[in-house]
Amino acid sequence: MNEKKHSNGIKRREFMQTGALFAATAIFLPLSGYQILAAQDSSKTISTMPTATLNNGLSMPMIGLGTHSLKGDICVRSVAEAISVGYRLIDTATVYGNEEFVGEGIKLSGIPRDELFVTSKLWVSDSGYETTKQAFETSLTKLGLEYLDLYLIHRPRGDVKGTWKAMEDLYKEGRIKAIGLSNFEPDQLDELLTYSTVKPTVNQIESHVYFQQHKAHDYLKQKQVQMEAWSPFAAGRNGMFTNPILARIGKKYNKSNAQVCLRWHYQRDVVTIPRSSQKAHMVENLDIFDFELNEADMQTIATLDLNRTQFPEWS
């Protein structure tokens, strides 16, 4: 995610040991006018990235790059750099207004398309059978891709039934490898299941240590729908990056608050898409697979749950 202050004065951590170590072992690769910082042994990161198996058998990386609010050259560079350091899941959406820039970053990376997992989302104004199909084609054109790995209904509004039917048809035609939802409550997903012929594979919802979503987490596991967390750091709100409880846990493992949060998500089998435009942050966010939170750590983090959104302006 971007390094910026929120209104409560909390900002992104300013220094990461892993980022410094990475910088010492990296090289600059000039690509089409951009300077992409690439790890010399990025293949090691790629080969060890854990995946979730969706209910249709598709493998989905457990950590990806979120791109909300990234635009223009910053978005292009961020996507290309994320891929260069090992990310393979890239998340965007029509309403972000950056699909074209995401596509440029993918092209700039030089990575074969079949090694990537690209997600986009249909916005409310495009709901309905025909408009969904049109919006899907527009997204593909902007991204410069021939198919999507995952296509989500961004919000449960408008003609959800017509939208889902269009997505099912696109899935059956092989234009999308998996279809799913975003911001759906359990009762809304239950309603969709009464008429769907293809089961949703993913529900992308707000989740972080301050809004742990235990009910949704248990429900989605029961339904075999993969939970994916947007804004897994709550955009730094409520002092997440300086929270003393997270810092105390992280100190035991020589990890940052952000790494503790991502590891907590991972141990709950939740896919995460942290946003960042900083290479060091990207690398740090991937460096969570060499330690494990113990049961006491998990119970301590559970006490941080406020059980409410940190983004009331989006509700």
Looking at the annotation, which residues are catalytic? 96
- Quick one: 146 exposed, middle or buried, by C-beta within 10 A (0-12, 13-18, 19+)? exposed
Task: Give buried/exposed letters for 185-211 (b at 16+ CB in 10 A, else e).
Answer: eeebbeebeeebebbbbbbbbbbbbbb
d(CA 202, CA 220): 9
Residue with tokens 């990207």: 282
Amino acid identity for residue 98 in this structure: N
Torsion over CA: 48, 49, 53, 58 (sign)? negative
d(CA 263, CA 177): 27
Amino acid identity for residue 97 in this structure: G
CA distances from 244 to 219, 241, 301 (A): 31, 9, 11
- Quick one: 148 exposed, middle or buried, by C-beta within 10 A (0-12, 13-18, 19+)? buried
DSSP for 251-302, written as a single string: HHHT--HHHHHHHHHHHTT-EE--B-S-HHHHHHHH--SS----HHHHHHHH
Which residues, in sequence order, are bridge partners of residue 28? 37
Q: Which of 215, 195, 194, 35 is nearest to 203 (CA)?
A: 215
